[in-house]
């Protein structure tokens, strides 16, 4: 399925729909502005859907794709921990995705995905 939060669409990356995409993570961060709650992630999900629909001529969003929307709820329901006031903040979400902010403001994968 296409429209992942931080992964490319299958046909837009020569079949690589599993590697971390720092540009997409940055888009998610900019949309959520550090608060990865239901409302902000819903806004970002809509943006990704519209982006994929516009850019991917082989766009696929079948019935099972709805599971991706449910999985996004893990970010704001299950991942926040007491170290950050149980808030789905940038520190929590970036550690889950293994995202690291570079000195030029871009994001990259740090090979350390973890459950907060």
Q: Is the pLDDT of residue 29 over 90?
A: yes
Q: What is the pLDDT of residue 1?
A: 57
Tell the residue number behind the tokens 């403001």, with chain if given. Answer: 105
**CA–CA separation, 47 vs 102, rounded Å?**
24
| pTM recorded for the entire structure | 0.88
pLDDT digits (tens, 9 = 90+) for 85-113: 888 999 989 999 999 999 999 999 999 98
Give the angle subtended at the CA of 55 by the CAs of 54 and 60, to the nearest 5°: 80
Contact 48, 3 (CB under 8 A): yes
**CA–CA separation, 43 vs 37, rounded Å?**
10
């Amino acid at each position: 399925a296409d429209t992942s939060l931080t992964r490319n669409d299958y046909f837009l990356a020569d079949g690589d729909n599993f590697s971390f995409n720092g540009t997409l993570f940055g888009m998610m961060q900019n949309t959520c502005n550090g608060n990865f709650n239901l409302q902000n992630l819903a806004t970002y999900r809509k943006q990704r859907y519209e982006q994929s629909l516009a850019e991917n001529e082989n766009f696929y969003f079948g019935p099972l794709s709805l599971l991706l929307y449910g999985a996004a709820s893990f970010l704001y329901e299950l991942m926040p921990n007491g170290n950050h006031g149980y808030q789905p903040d940038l520190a929590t979400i970036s550690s889950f995705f293994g995202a690291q902010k570079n000195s030029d403001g871009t994001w990259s994968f740090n090979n350390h995905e973890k459950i907060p």
